[in-house]
Structure 1
Amino acid sequence: MNFIAILVAAVSTFPVGFIWYNPKVFGTIWMREAGVDPEAPKKANMLKIFGLTFIFAFMMGFILQFLTVHQFGASGMIGGPNFVESAKPSYAAFMTDYGHAFRTFKHGALHGFMTGLFLALPIIGTNSQFEGKSWKYILINAGYFTVCFTIMGGIICAWE
């Protein structure tokens, strides 16, 4: 596990959010669709909001490593990193041949994008339908997470 890559990936969500939810991009539309009073952020506990946002982004990065780095699958087949020494020689041979395969930003970004499209969108879409939210609201929020997962997946996968 590369905790520095996960940390950087988590931090990457902040500039995306600052741009995405900027009033000149989607911020004004999002506030209207979400029913958020434009004065509400001035009264909110921003330390709590951004602190929890970072923790949640770190959690997302933690699981993205398993979705973007295929070598975790090979490691899982032998029981995890603690069993490398006792693994059969075929594991070492496999890792010699494929230990760095598909460890690119582009590959991680692809898997991050798919995670946004096939995980974030359905989750946000389902909850939003029951909350009576609009498709604009769904697409703005799911779009944000899809962009974040794309960037995060790229960072995590490429950073060995």
Structure 2
Amino acid sequence: MEINFLALIVAALSTLVIGFIWYNPKVFGTIWMKESGLTEEKMKGANMPVIFIMSIFFAFLIAMFLQFVTIHQWGAFGMIGGGGATDIKPSYAAFMADYGTAFRSFRHGALHGFLAALFFALPMIATNALFERKSWKYTFINAGYWAVCFTIMGGIICSWQ
């Protein structure tokens, strides 16, 4: 299997679009700022180009992980695929001939993306929030954002063949 870097980049960029909507003052932005202890003055003092570049980089890392969660064929490649194009096992070629595009849909990827958010992102965010003494509003706003992001990212990655 080859990595679809274009799908991963688009999935990573989708987090910015979702963030612009999610953290808009008319949606959750005002509540999030209050619960996180941020003010307009603190927000204006940030180096936004660095923040956006690093957030895209981190989202790309998440997308790299999500491709292995959402595309089942990666598991077959790991078990019977082999190391390179010349080392492909006949069992892998037969598997891909029968199931190469099975479960490669937006809906399937979105389901696995959501499950990854529920069982991976939410516990990490909630644990950090507990130790940081943040409110449950803060926790659910951030976890909700990542649940939507993982869901959309999983859908993009899984369906883009």
In the TM superposition, residue 79 of structure 1 has moved relative to its aligned partner by 5.7
Taking the aligned partners of 1:26 and 1:61, their CA distance within structure 2 comes to 24
* Alignment partner, residue 60 of structure 1: 62
Residue by residue over 1:6-37, the C-alpha shift from the partner in whole angstroms, topping out at 9 and shown as x without a partner, is 00000101110001000110000001110011
In the TM superposition, residue 86 of structure 1 has moved relative to its aligned partner by 3.2
* Identity, % of aligned positions: 64
Tell me the matched-pair count.
Answer: 159
* Alignment partner, residue 20 of structure 1: 22
Residue by residue over 1:31-76, the C-alpha shift from the partner in whole angstroms, topping out at 9 and shown as x without a partner, is 1110011221211101111010110111110110000000000000
Unpaired runs of at least 5, structure 2: none
* Alignment partner, residue 36 of structure 1: 38
Taking the aligned partners of 2:67 and 2:60, their CA distance within structure 1 comes to 11
Distance 1:101 1:81, change over 3 A: farther
* Alignment partner, residue 90 of structure 2: 89
CA RMSD of aligned residues (A): 1.2
Q: Is the 8 A contact 2:67 2:154 kept in 1?
A: yes
Distance 1:77 1:41, change over 3 A: same
Distance 1:81 1:70, change over 3 A: farther
Secondary structure (helix, strand or coil) at the match of 2:87 reads: coil
Residue by residue over 1:69-104, the C-alpha shift from the partner in whole angstroms, topping out at 9 and shown as x without a partner, is 00000000036451x533442221111000110000
* Alignment partner, residue 117 of structure 1: 118
Aligned residue type for 1:126 = T
Aligned residue type for 1:119 = F
Aligned residue type for 1:95 = M
The equivalent position to 2:6 in structure 1, one of 4, 7, 15, is: 4
Q: Is the 8 A contact 2:81 2:89 kept in 1?
A: no
TM-score by length of 1: 0.95
Distance 1:80 1:32, change over 3 A: farther
Taking the aligned partners of 2:67 and 2:82, their CA distance within structure 1 comes to 14
Distance 1:80 1:126, change over 3 A: farther
* Alignment partner, residue 107 of structure 2: 106
Distance 1:119 1:32, change over 3 A: same
* Alignment partner, residue 51 of structure 2: 49
Find runs of 4+ consecutive structure 1 residues off by over 6 angstroms: none
Unpaired runs of at least 5, structure 1: none
